[in-house]
Amino acid sequence: MTFKPMPLLSVLTIASLIILVMLGNWQYARYAEKKAQGQVENDPFQTLSVEVDTSNAGFAQQVYGIVDGEAIWRRYVPGRINGEGPVVLLLWDAVAGTDPIPLQISDLSDFEGRANAFERPAQRGGLAGGSNPERDLWYGFNAELMLDNLGYAQESGRVVEPDTMRVVLGADMSRSRTTENPYAMLTGRDPLPPERHFGYALTWWGMAIGLIGVYIAFHRSQGRLKFGGKS
């Protein structure tokens, strides 16, 4: 066999192979990690009952966000888990569009369903600096200030995020849809199932194998790789 590798092409090919294999290994590691953990064991949601505090005649606190690539305003109301304990902020629903729609708290009933309760750190700086508490509008979640805006003096506050959220169409409040709540966990949701990671791993490894094939074929076409011949 005669092999005369092209220096620059060989270096680029080797570098690309390393990257492709590393990406495949990383996706396979994510697959193995999720399979080992199991979806049931890591399910953070539980059936929670939140008694909405309707004694406040004010309006829900609206927080800007993005759901399914669409701008929304998430509407949070005060309540108590199982009707007792400190006041929490419960995500009631969301309004699609850039124009927030006020929601009067006194008109609401209690909540019961699959949700996650946790403390979310306050967001400061960036868009959060443009919040308008006087209008109950927030560009960054801040439980302490939002509760203070509702008349509750607490140094910190927990948030109750349902597994799914109802998104109403601002232009037509009679229309709505239900979607997975991307804010239901502190670190965000990872929607990819383990099998998807395994598929990605096969894709990256397959590209690495294909690159080797292209490299060999190119050298053969240039007469730099010959099997059983003489140089």
Q: Are 18 and 75 in contact (CB under 8 A)?
A: no
- Mean pLDDT per block of 10 residues along the chain (231 residues) reads 87 94 92 68 80 87 93 95 92 93 91 93 86 94 92 84 92 86 77 82 95 90 76 46
Specify whether 136 is located in the same domain as 152: yes
pTM over the 0.85 mark: no
Quick check: 115 and 161 in contact, CB under 8 A? Answer: yes
CA atoms within a 13 Å half-sphere pointing along the CA-CB vector of 165? 27
Residue 203 phi/psi, 5-degree rounding, is -65, -50
For residue 93, the enclosing domain spans 46-180
Whether residues 99 and 28 fall in one domain: no
68 inside domain: yes
Q: Which two tokens stand for residue 18?
A: 């390393």
- 171 touches 12 (CB < 8 A): no
CA 134 – CA 214 distance, rounded (Å) = 63
pLDDT at 229: 54
pLDDT, residue 168, reads 93
Q: Do residue 31 and residue 51 come from a single domain?
A: no
CA 91, 38, 190, 125 dihedral sign is positive
Torsion over CA: 153, 159, 162, 167 (sign): positive
DSSP-derived 3-state class of residue 216:
helix
Q: How many domains does the chain have?
A: 2
Query: Which DSSP symbol is given to 98?
Result: S
Answer yes or no: is 12 within a domain. yes
155 with 214, same domain: the answer is no
SS3 91: strand
The answer to whether residue 186 sits within a structural domain is no
The answer to whether 94 touches 75, Cβ cutoff 8 Å, is yes
100 in any annotated domain = yes
With respect to residue 18, please indicate whether it lies within any of the assigned structural domains. Answer: yes
188 falls within a domain? no
Clarify whether residues 123 and 71 are in a common domain.
yes
Residue showing tokens 């011949």: 229
Asked if residue 117 and residue 218 are part of one domain, the reply reads: no
Q: Is residue 231 part of a domain?
A: no
- The DSSP H or E segment spanning 191 is none
CA Rg, the chain, in Å? 27
Q: Assess if residue 185 is contained within a domain.
A: no
Q: Are residues 71 and 167 in the same domain?
A: yes
Same domain, 84 and 127: yes
Looking at the fold, whether 94 and 57 belong to one and the same domain comes out as yes
Do 135 and 25 lie in one domain? The reply is: no
- Are 151 and 211 in a shared domain? no
Please check whether residues 35 and 61 belong to one and the same domain.
no
